[in-house]
Amino acid sequence: MTQRPTNEPEPRREEAPRRSSGIHDTEPVVTVENLDMYYGSFKALQNVSMNIKRNRITALIGPSGCGKSTFIRSINRMHEIVPGARVEGKILLDGEDIYGDDVDPVRVRRKVGMVFQKPNPFPTMTIYDNVIAGIKLGRKRKKDELDGIVEKSLRQAALWDEVKNKLKDSGTSLSGGQQQRLCIARTLAIEPEVILMDEPASALDPISTQKIEDAMDELKELYTVVIVTHNMQQAARISDFTGFFYIENMGDPGRLWEFDETEKMFSNPDRSETEDYVTGRFG
């Protein structure tokens, strides 16, 4: 299912028959069609098309500055907080264009949550309040209901056992890895369909990283995850699909150079630039 911009050259090798992994057995939840992205007059991304499959983990890799983070921010309209940022093309979420005239970006962000590189719990809030911070912005809920949401979200983020006896402690009292899982729990509490993660483990030690990865593996039963990572082995370990973003010449916009099953991308990618990147021969 290799996807590439229509103006890109054909792959250099014939497609070999694939063994059936079952990872294609879900429909796309997000469909990106010919997306161009600009910051003012600077074109940051060009002609990105991608299907993001439901209940699968999609990893985005590529050198710094090639537009990966820019791209995932466009999936929940987070880029709009940067003045002058705009997109051309379409992003369909469950078939609905998220850039449609009558679409409220806040509603998009409730369906597409985001976890950032640096854990960012609200410093003045307790662990409990951090989890329900997003929910409190919506309709009023009973305490029992909130308790249930907090426990469920923290369990899904694989943090419950570590914090269940100190829910009234400050979120910042936790370790870096725990804080990041708290942020994941906060994202899960609003029950998004898609969770975007921008290098969620890059500031964490290996054990915390493993816990995040284990949590992600369980999360994909219920959610669709898109993760930007510079850790190639992490992409290979956890994702079902991988997209490689690349800039051919300095100053050019970033492009989705190759997109395929992770298994293929890390064993026998179609394009030489992808192979150079994943084998560390890039640069």
In the region spanning residues 60 to 79, those forming contacts with another protein, defined by CB under 8 A, are none
Task: Determine what percent of the chain falls in helix, strand and coil, rounding each to the nearest 5.
Answer: 35, 25, 40
| Nearest approach, Cβ of residue 146 and another protein (Å) | 44
Task: Choose the stretch contacting another protein; rule: CB under 8 A; options: 36-44, 98-106, 113-121, 267-275.
Answer: 267-275
Of 165 and 233, which has the nearer Cβ to another protein?
233
Residue 119 CB partners (closer than 8 Å, separation 6+): 176, 179, 180, 182, 183, 203
Q: How far apart are CA 45 and CA 38, in angstroms?
A: 7
Q: In this chain, which of 13, 118, 136, 166 binds another protein, going by CB under 8 A?
A: 13
Alpha helices (H) in 31-104, listed in sequence order: 68-75
Give strand ranges (E) for 40-77.
42-53, 57-61
Number of residues lying near another protein (CB under 8 A): 17
> By CB neighbour count within 10 A (0-12 exposed, 13-18 middle, 19+ buried), where does 279 fall?
exposed
Q: How far apart are CA 21 and CA 13, in angstroms?
A: 21
Closest listed residue to residue 256, CA positions, set 62, 43, 93? 62
Residue 175 CB partners (closer than 8 Å, separation 6+): 208
Site string for another protein, 121-150 (x = CB under 8 A): ------------------------------
| Contact yes or no for 62/107 (Cβ under 8 A) | no
> Residues for the chain: how many in total?
283
> By CB neighbour count within 10 A (0-12 exposed, 13-18 middle, 19+ buried), where does 40 fall?
exposed
Q: Phi and psi dihedrals of 269, rounded to 5? A: -65, 155
| Contact yes or no for 181/215 (Cβ under 8 A) | yes
Task: Choose the stretch contacting another protein; rule: CB under 8 A; options: 42-50, 58-66, 100-108, 264-272.
Answer: 264-272
| Nearest approach, Cβ of residue 16 and another protein (Å) | 5
Q: In this chain, which of 6, 9, 16, 139 binds another protein, going by CB under 8 A?
A: 16
Of 80 and 275, which has the nearer Cβ to another protein?
275
In the region spanning residues 88 to 107, those forming contacts with another protein, defined by CB under 8 A, are none
| Nearest approach, Cβ of residue 266 and another protein (Å) | 4
Q: In this chain, which of 17, 83, 100, 123 binds another protein, going by CB under 8 A?
A: 17
Q: In this chain, which of 134, 186, 269, 273 binds another protein, going by CB under 8 A?
A: 269
* 10: contact with another protein by CB under 8 A: no
In the region spanning residues 198 to 237, those forming contacts with another protein, defined by CB under 8 A, are 232-233, 236
Site string for another protein, 161-200 (x = CB under 8 A): ----------------------------------------
Of 173 and 267, which has the nearer Cβ to another protein?
267
| Nearest approach, Cβ of residue 283 and another protein (Å) | 6
> Which residues of this protein are in contact with another protein, per CB under 8 A?
13, 16-17, 232-233, 236, 266-269, 275, 278-283
